[in-house]
Chain A
Amino acid sequence: MDWRLDKKRPICPQICEKLCVLIASGELNAGDRLMSVRDVALNAGVTPNTVQKSFEQLEQQGVIFSKRGSGWYVSENIGIAKEVLNSLIRSKTVNYLNDMQALGLDKKEIIEIIKEFRYG
């Protein structure tokens, strides 16, 4: 997982997004145990308080739940995580299309480039 964060945006929603991506992309499944608050804090280089706050927000939305003394788990209801993933995909696509349009390409040309482009 790439834990690099955007310095201009509040940290808490970014941590929430990253966790939603992990869940919606299938890296974490319903019932799986999440990393501890401290592990996320160390990986992302952020304060444990922010991670705790992010976990609590996701709990309120029903994405994860906590078991006393045992940690945090992914809930059955991953619809919200999927929505977050979809809106991220949309906004990144919009950004890309805007950039390409600014470089003078139309939709057809952009699609051609994507088709020719090899992954990795």
Chain B
Amino acid sequence: MGELLRCDNLCKTFGSTRALDRLSLSIESGKIIGLLGPNGAGKTTLIKIVNGLLQPSLGEVLIDGKHPGVDTKPLVSYLPDVNYLNNWMTVEQIVNMFADFYDDFRPDLAFDMISRLGVDRKQRLKSLSKGNKEKVCLILVMSRNAKLYVLDEPIAGVDPATRDYIISTIINNYNPEASVLISTHLISDIESILDEVIFIKEGRVVLHDTVDHIREEHQMSVDDLFREVFKW
């Protein structure tokens, strides 16, 4: 199990706002990791830096030894927190577009999961419900054969059945060579599928541990611990 993602002393400021404050962390391959923190803790900023969409003000990010950029795009499969796909495109067109973009994309797998979802591949994205749109986006991201999957709030705003669908999609596509980083603040829903959790608060890592160790040490669920750490 090698080191897959490393952040050293990462800082990011927006004007006078400090979104990340000397944040350091290390993630191994083969793990499902929760990136947990309240709103405004810096989760999305960190994820955007890892994906090369933002430049850190200070510090360094290495993904499999490489700086975020052209070389890391094939390694990282990213689900943003907002829908970025063209609404006028059909599901089929989007799958084909992903196949054009990414060498590691498996269109058969994507079509298979989409048909099991009961979505017609000729349907336009704009005709899908919010939940189905989110599921299609997740299917696209999980159909790549990447080393690191970064999912920004994949379960926010979906019903419990959809949430279970998303969780089983993540488990089903789990690959021991790859890691999945999931950001969320809905911890109780997903804590059992996580190997490790990282709590961030005001741009810093306040805790990085395995779920089982947390439960053993504190005799409480990660969700309960989260409420205690972030009590105010």
Binding site for B on A (CB under 8 A): 5, 7-12, 38, 41-42, 44-50
Q: Which of B41-49, B139-147, B164-172 touches A?
A: B164-172
Q: Do residues B221 and A38 form an inter-chain contact, with CB atoms below 8 A?
A: no
Roughly how many angstroms separate A5 CA and B215 CA in the complex, as a whole number? 13
The chain A residue with its CB closest to the CB of B221 is A7
Roughly how many angstroms separate A46 CA and B170 CA in the complex, as a whole number? 10
Roughly how many angstroms separate A10 CA and B218 CA in the complex, as a whole number? 10
Closest 6 CB pairs of A and B: A10-B212, A7-B221, A10-B215, A46-B192, A47-B32, A10-B216
CB-CB contacts of B158-181 with A at 8 A, as 1s and 0s?
A: 000000100110011010100000
Give B195 Cβ to nearest chain A Cβ, in Å.
Answer: 5
Q: Do residues A46 and B193 form an inter-chain contact, with CB atoms below 8 A?
A: yes
What are 19 A-B contacts defined by CB distance under 8 Å? A7-B223, A9-B215, A10-B216, A12-B212, A38-B172, A41-B174, A45-B164, A45-B167, A45-B168, A45-B171, A45-B193, A46-B192, A46-B193, A47-B171, A47-B192, A47-B193, A47-B194, A48-B176, A50-B212
B219 CB contacts on chain A under 8 angstroms: 8-9
Q: A8-B215, A11-B211, A49-B30 are known; give 17 further A-B pairs, CB within 8 A.
A: A7-B192, A8-B220, A8-B224, A9-B215, A10-B211, A10-B213, A11-B215, A42-B168, A45-B168, A45-B171, A45-B193, A47-B174, A47-B193, A48-B174, A48-B176, A49-B32, A50-B212
The chain B residue with its CB closest to the CB of A13 is B212
Q: Do residues A50 and B195 form an inter-chain contact, with CB atoms below 8 A?
A: yes
A49 CB contacts on chain B under 8 angstroms: 30-32, 195
B202 within 8 A of A: no
Q: Which of B194, B212, B213, B216 has the most CB of A within 10 A?
A: B212
Roughly how many angstroms separate A44 CA and B32 CA in the complex, as a whole number? 16
B191 within 8 A of A: yes
B220 CB contacts on chain A under 8 angstroms: 8
